[in-house]
Chain A
Amino acid sequence: QQQVKQSPQSLIVQKGGISIINCAYENTAFDYFPWYQQFPGKGPALLIAIRPDVSEKKEGRFTISFNKSAKQFSLHIMDSQPGDSATYFCAARATTSGTYKYIFGTGTRLKVLA
Chain B
Amino acid sequence: GAGVSQSPSNKVTEKGKDVELRCDPISGHTALYWYRQSLGQGLEFLIYFQGNSAPDKSGLPSDRFSAERTGGSVSTLTIQRTQQEDSAVYLCASSFQGSGETQYFGPGTRLLVL
Q: Are A and B associated in one complex?
A: yes
Contacts of A45 in B (CB 8 A): 105
Which interface class (under 10, 10 to 19, 20 to 34, 35 or more) fits A?
20 to 34
Asked if B7 is at the interface (CB within 8 A of a chain A CB), the reply is no
B39-63 contacts to A (CB < 8 Å): 40-45, 48, 50, 55-56
Binding site of B, secondary structure by majority: helix, strand, loop or mixed?
A: strand
Q: Which of A14-22, A64-72, A77-85, A99-107 contacts B (4 or more CB under 8 A)?
A: A99-107
Bound together, the chains give a CA A46 to CA B94 distance in angstroms of: 12
Q: Mark B72-114, 1 if CB is under 8 A from A, else 0.
A: 0000000000000000000101010000111111111000000
In whole Å, how far is B4's beta carbon from the nearest beta carbon of chain A?
Answer: 7
CB pair A34–B43 under 8 Å, yes or no, is no
Bound together, the chains give a CA A89 to CA B31 distance in angstroms of: 21
User: Nearest CB to that of A51 among chain B residues?
Assistant: B101
Which interface class (under 10, 10 to 19, 20 to 34, 35 or more) fits B?
20 to 34
Knowing A32-B101, A43-B4, A46-B102, the reply to whether A99 touches B48 (Cβ < 8 A) is yes
Asked if A95 is at the interface (CB within 8 A of a chain B CB), the reply is yes
Which of these, B48, B93, B95, B102, contacts A43 with CB under 8 Å? B93
Contacts of A93 in B (CB 8 A): 100-101
Contacts of B93 in A (CB 8 A): 43
- Contacts A34-B101, A104-B35 supplied; 5 other A-B pairs, CB < 8 Å: A43-B4, A43-B106, A89-B42, A95-B100, A97-B55
**7 CB < 8 A contacts A-B:** A34-B103, A41-B107, A43-B91, A45-B105, A46-B103, A104-B42, A105-B42
